[in-house]
Amino acid sequence: MVRLPLTPEEVERGQRLGALLRRARGERSMLDTALEAGVSPETYRKIESGRVATPAFPTIAAIADVLSLSLDAVWAEINRPEPALGQGSSRRARKQLAS
């Protein structure tokens, strides 16, 4: 089976998920977190680094449980709307839209 390339939006959601997991993990080690969640350390590392942008729901549910994150909080964080143009967007993005 050929996997379709990720969209930019999926890549961004994966990056936001990884950032949320890093913040929630705090000083705890990746290894301990992964093992407690029943996820391979390599998979956990890839999720946290954003390399796996669309992990399986049971995987995220297990990690969220270990990190005491509600799935509602995870969902809200990874699906938050992007700022509108002129509200913190980059100059480059505005330039691209103008051309």
Q: Is the pLDDT score of 44 beyond 80?
A: yes
* pLDDT for the residue numbered 55: 92
Q: Is the pLDDT score of 94 beyond 50?
A: no
Per-residue confidence band for 25, with pLDDT thresholds at 50, 70 and 90 = very high
Mean pLDDT of 59-73: 96
**Which residues, including other chains, have CB under 8 Å from residue 64's CB and lie 6 or more apart?**
70, 71, 74
Measured between alpha carbons, how far is 84 from 13 in angstroms, rounded to an integer?
A: 17
| pTM of the shown model | 0.76
